[in-house]
């Protein structure tokens, strides 16, 4: 129905409403729906699902749940006890900081990372001091020097540093500084890194263990 006071409107001339141009009639894009708040059952499912899918620590699981709650909100009167939930998941064996630390330390060492970098990675994952010490102990016992050398050699080999470079060992000071800096960031002791990078060739590297 068109009222009398609309008659003077150009769009209603002649008693009929003029159609708007197509562009004006096009529907506006719908705004994405806000995610539904999480309830207690969903929070527990998220915790179990995450811990079952990923090797993780109690601290990392806690961060994950806190992030999800921050993104979606909480559907409940009292705030959820994330700490208690993480404790239950841990007691069920889904999370084991000691096992995570041992596996992670072994993996990083196999990839050529030094003890300092390994300890830093474990601490960043929320692993406690005792578990960090237990995980890195095999690399810091009487054979620690040999292990440090072996991981430094492996890192240099993977990155093609020093005697492992495609063009062979280089005496370029700038290149040596760059490679030493990279090995330091990877957690290797300066003296060990310098020994590896200063080797003339791969045969010389093989002889370092007997020095």
Asked if 137 and 159 touch (Cβ cutoff 8 Å), the reply is no
Give the pLDDT band (50/70/90) at residue 8: very low
**148/122 same-domain check:** no
**Helix ranges (DSSP H) in the chain:** 22-25, 40-53, 58-72, 82-91, 97-110, 115-124, 129-136, 144-159, 173-185, 190-197, 202-206
Query: What mean pLDDT, rounded, does the chain reach?
Result: 85
Q: Which helix (H) or strand (E) segment is 13 a member of?
A: none
Please report whether residue 178 resides in a domain. yes
**176/190 same-domain check:** yes
Find tokens 């095999």 and name the residue.
Answer: 138
Q: What is the pLDDT of residue 210?
A: 62
CA pair distance 101, 119, nearest whole angstrom: 9
SS3 52: helix
Q: pLDDT tens, 160-170?
A: 999 999 887 77
Q: What is the pLDDT of residue 30?
A: 73
191 pLDDT higher than 50: yes
Please report whether residue 17 resides in a domain. no
**74/87 same-domain check:** yes
Q: What is the pLDDT of residue 3?
A: 30
Q: What is the pLDDT of residue 28?
A: 67
SS3 74: strand
47 pLDDT higher than 90: yes
Q: pLDDT tens, 10-40?
A: 445 455 556 656 655 566 667 777 789 999 9
Q: What is the pLDDT of residue 154?
A: 92
How large a percentage of the chain has pLDDT more than 70?
A: 82
**166/208 same-domain check:** yes
Number of compact structural domains in the chain? 3
**157/198 same-domain check:** yes
Q: pLDDT tens, 150-160?
A: 899 999 999 99
Q: pLDDT tens, 56-105?
A: 999 999 999 999 999 999 998 899 999 999 999 999 999 999 999 999 99
Domain of residue 57, residue span: 40-95
Please report whether residue 10 resides in a domain. no
Q: What is the pLDDT of residue 72?
A: 95
Please report whether residue 203 resides in a domain. yes
Please report whether residue 181 resides in a domain. yes
**73/115 same-domain check:** no
200 pLDDT higher than 50: yes
**163/110 same-domain check:** no
φ, ψ at 74 (rounded to 5°): -120, 130
Q: pLDDT tens, 120-133?
A: 999 999 999 999 99
**What does the pLDDT average to over 115-144?**
85
């Amino acid at each position: 129905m068109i009222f009398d006071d609309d008659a003077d409107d150009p769009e209603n001339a002649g008693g009929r409403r003029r159609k708007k141009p197509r562009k004006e009639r096009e529907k506006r894009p719908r705004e994405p729906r806000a995610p539904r708040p999480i309830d207690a059952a969903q929070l527990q499912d998220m915790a179990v699902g995450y811990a079952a899918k990923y090797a993780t620590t109690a601290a990392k699981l806690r961060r994950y749940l806190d992030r999800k709650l921050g993104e979606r909100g909480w559907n409940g009167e009292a705030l959820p006890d994330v700490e208690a939930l993480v404790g239950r998941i841990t007691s069920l064996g889904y999370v084991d900081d000691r096992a995570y630390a041992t596996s992670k330390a072994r993996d990083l060492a196999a990839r050529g990372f030094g003890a300092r970098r390994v300890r830093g990675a474990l601490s960043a994952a929320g692993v406690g001091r005792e578990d960090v010490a237990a995980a890195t102990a095999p690399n810091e016992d009487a054979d620690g020097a040999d292990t440090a050398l072996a991981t430094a050699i492996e890192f240099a080999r993977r990155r093609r540093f020093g005697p492992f470079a495609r063009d062979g060992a280089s005496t370029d000071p700038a290149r040596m500084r760059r490679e030493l800096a990279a090995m330091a960031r990877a957690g290797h002791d300066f003296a060990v890194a310098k020994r590896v990078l200063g080797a003339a060739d791969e045969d010389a590297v093989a002889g370092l263990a007997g020095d």
